[in-house]
Amino acid sequence: MPLNRILVADDEESMRWVLSRALKKKGFTVDLARDGDEALRLIQSNAYDLAILDIKMPGLSGLELLDRVRELKSDLLVVIMTAEASMKNAVEAMKRGAYDYITKPFDLDVIDAIVEKVTRAREMTSQVSLLKEELKDRYQLEKNIVGNSPAMREVYKTIGKVAPSDITILVQGESGTGKELIARAVHFNSRRLGKPFIALNCAAIPKELLESELFGFEKGAFTGAVERKLGKFEQANGGTIFLDEIGDMPLDLQAKILRVLQEKEVTRTGGNQAISVDVRIVAATNQDLEEKVRHREFREDLFYRLNVVPIHLVPLRERHEDIPLLVEYFLAKTCAELEIPPKQCSPDALRLLTAAQWPGNVRELENTIKRAVILSSDPLLTAADFPGLRQQKGGERLPAEDLSLEGIVDMKLRGCLANMEKLESGDIYGMVMVQVERPLIRFVLEKTKGNQVRAADILGINRNTLRKKIHELGIDLKRD
C-alpha cells in the first residue's frame, strides 16, 4: 500500500519548503502546518499516511500532538524532528509511539530512507491485516460448506487436488448450490491465501458497465469518469477473481477475458497501456455452456480455456442425505444470529424437509429454516412450521427408508430426547450405543449365518472384541 498524503508540521518556513519540495518530487501530496494547533486541525479533517512533526512548535508541541494522534488516529505513523540531539527527546518520542526520530540538520536522503521504510511497514501491516481477515473467512467457510454425501466428497477431493496450482476452474451448478463458497475454498487453500479474493456477478451488472467494472477506466474515458478507477482484475492482482454467471457475459467481453487468460494483461477503458496482472480465474455458471457454444452464444475457445478443471455441484434434490446436516447447521446459525435459545426440528419436520424438492437448493433451504425459526415461538419446529414445501413423488412424502442412516438416528434421538426439559448427567452415550450396536451385530451375524470370524472381519473389529460384545449386549446366538 503506497504512501499518498503526508503532513509536515514545523514553525520554520524554510524547513517546510524544503521538505514539501522534496516530497512532492517523489509524487506525494503534501500538506503544511506552521504550528501544532493547525497540524491537529488538519489531522482531524484529513487522512494522512505519514506525519512529520517538529518537536518544538507554537501551540501544541510535537510530543503533545503525538499523544493526540495516538488517541484520534492510532494507525497514523509519526516521525519526530528535533534540533536538540538529546537522549531524553529520543527516548520520550519513541515511548509515546513515534515511528522514528531524526535530528536537524539532516540530509534529504534520510527522509527518502524513512519514507521507503514507512511504505514497507504499511505494506506489511496491510498484508497481515488481509491475512487475518482471510483466515477468519476461511474458518467461517469451513463451517459453511456442509455435506457428507458422495457428490460433496468428490467436490472436496477435487478442491484439494487443484487448489495448490493456478489452473483455471469452472464451477457448474444450479442457482443456490454454493458456487461462490467453492471458489473461496479454492482460494483459501491455494498459495494465494493472503492476497485478494474478488467476486463479480456478470449477470448483476448492466452490459454497458461490465467492461469498466472488469478492466477499470482512465480519467475522462467517458462522461462521469472524473478520476481513474482500477478494475476488478487489477484489484485482484496476486489473488483470485471469481466470475459468477459468466454465461451471461457479452461475446465482445468474452474475447477480452480470453486475452487476459492468454496474455495475462488488461487495458483500462480509455487507455492504451497494457497492464500486467497475475490473477487466478475461477468462473461459475448455472447454464449449459456447451449448449451455448453450439448456438454461438459463448466462445468455444474461451469455454475450453475456462473448463480446464470442471467442478459440478449437484442440486440438493440429488443429495437428500445432506439435508439433516444442513438443517442442523442452519438452525444453529440462525439462532446464534438472532441471539435466541437453540431450536430443533421434530422427526416429522425433518422428514418433510428431507423429502422436499428444493428448486432453490441450499439457499432456499436456509431461507425456509430462517423463516420458521423467526415465526415459531416453540423450541421444537414441527411440520406445521414448514407449509407449502414442494416434494418428490407427485407431492407425497418420501418414506423414512429414503433418509440416510445418520438422518434416521438423528430423528430417533431427537424424538426420544425432545420431551426432556434438560439433559442431565448420566449414561446416555452408553444407552444409545447399546441400541445401535445390538441391531448392527445381529444383522451382520444373520448375514454371515452365525460365522463370527466373517462377521468380525465385516465389522472391522477383532474376533475377541466381537465375542465380548455378543456377551455384553446379550445377543442370543441361537435365535440369531
Average pLDDT, stretch 351-372?
Answer: 92
Task: Return the closest-CA partner of residue 146 out of 391, 316, 290, 355.
Answer: 316
Binned at pLDDT 50, 70 and 90, residue 401 comes out as very low
More confident position, 396 or 54: 54
CA dist 6 and 39 (Å) reads: 11
- Residue closest to 451 by CA, chosen among 440, 472, 467, 473: 467
What is residue 221's DSSP assignment?
A: S
Q: Over the stretch 265-317, which tens digit does the pLDDT of each residue have?
A: 999 988 888 999 999 999 999 999 999 999 999 999 999 999 999 999 999 99
Rounded to 5 degrees, what are φ and ψ at 32?
Answer: -120, 145
Q: Which of 123-132, 262-271, 332-341 has the lowest mean pLDDT?
A: 123-132
314 three-state secondary structure: coil
> Boundaries of CATH 1.10.10.60 in the chain?
428-472
Which secondary structure element, helix H or strand E, spans residue 354, and what is its range? helix 347-355
C-alpha span between 181 and 96 (Å, rounded):
45
* Confidence tier at 480 by pLDDT (50, 70, 90): very low
Residue 326's SS3 state is: helix
In the block, cell 442412516 appears at 405
Q: Say whether pLDDT at 398 is over 50.
A: no
Percent of the chain beyond pLDDT 70?
Answer: 84
> Which DSSP helix (H) or strand (E) runs through 147?
none
Specify the domain boundaries for CATH 3.40.50.300 within the chain: 145-314
Residue 161 near residue 36 (C-beta atoms within 8 A): no
| CATH 1.10.8.60 boundaries in the chain | 317-417
Q: At what angle do helices 323-338 and 361-375 cross, to 10 degrees?
A: 50
Across 443-469, average pLDDT: 86
The C-alpha cell at 298 is 459463448
Q: How far apart are CA 178 and CA 189, in angstroms?
A: 17
Are 93 and 80 contacting, i.e. CB atoms less than 8 angstroms apart?
yes
Return the minimum-mean-pLDDT range out of 27-31, 56-60, 420-424: 420-424
Cβ distance 144 to 179 under 8 Å? no
Residue 170 pLDDT: 96
Do the beta carbons of residue 336 and residue 195 sit within 8 Å? no
**Nearest to 417, CA basis, from 405, 406, 429:** 429
Q: Which residue has the cell 449448449?
A: 291
Considering the domain delimited by 5-121, tell me its CATH architecture: 3-Layer(aba) Sandwich (3.40)
- For the chain, give every residue range classified as CATH 3.40.50.2300: 5-121
Report the range of poorest mean pLDDT among 85-99, 436-450, 457-471. Answer: 85-99
Position 261 pLDDT exceeds 90: yes
Backbone dihedral region of 171: left (phi > 0), alpha (psi from -120 to 50 degrees) or beta? beta
Band (pLDDT 50/70/90 cuts) for residue 242 is very high
Amino acid, single-letter form, for residue 97 = G
Type and span of the H or E element at 322: none
One-letter identity of residue 250: P
Distance separating alpha carbons of residues 9 and 6, to the nearest angstrom = 10
d(CA 295, CA 365) in angstroms, rounded, equals 34
For residues 337 and 374, the answer to whether their CB atoms sit within 8 Å is no
Task: Using alpha carbons, select from 314, 242, 244, 232 the residue that is nearest to residue 281.
Answer: 242
Q: Is 91's pLDDT higher than 70?
A: yes
To the nearest whole percent, how much of the chain has pLDDT over 90? 38
Regarding the domain delimited by 317-417, which CATH topology (the fold level of the hierarchy) does it fall under?
A: Helicase, Ruva Protein; domain 3 (1.10.8)
Q: In what order do the strands lie in the sheet with 29-33?
A: 29-33, 5-9, 50-54, 77-82, 100-103
Burial code (b: 16+ CB inside 10 Å, e: under 16) for 153-166 equals eebeebbeebbeee
The gap from C-alpha 318 to its chain's centroid, in whole angstroms, comes to: 26
If pLDDT is split at 50, 70 and 90, which confidence band does 136 have? Answer: very low
Neighbours of 219 (CB within 10 A): 12
CATH fold for domain 145-314 = Rossmann fold (3.40.50)
pLDDT for the residue numbered 399: 39
Angle ∠(392,395,398) on CA atoms, nearest 5? 50
Considering only the C-alpha atoms of the chain, give the largest distance between any 2 of them, rounded to a whole number of Å. 106
**Fold of domain 428-472:** Arc Repressor Mutant, subunit A (1.10.10)
Give the list of residues 6+ apart from residue 169 with CB closer than 8 angstroms, or none.
Answer: 162, 183, 186, 281, 282, 283, 308, 309, 310, 311
Backbone angles phi, psi at 83, to 5 degrees: -90, -10
pTM score: 0.56
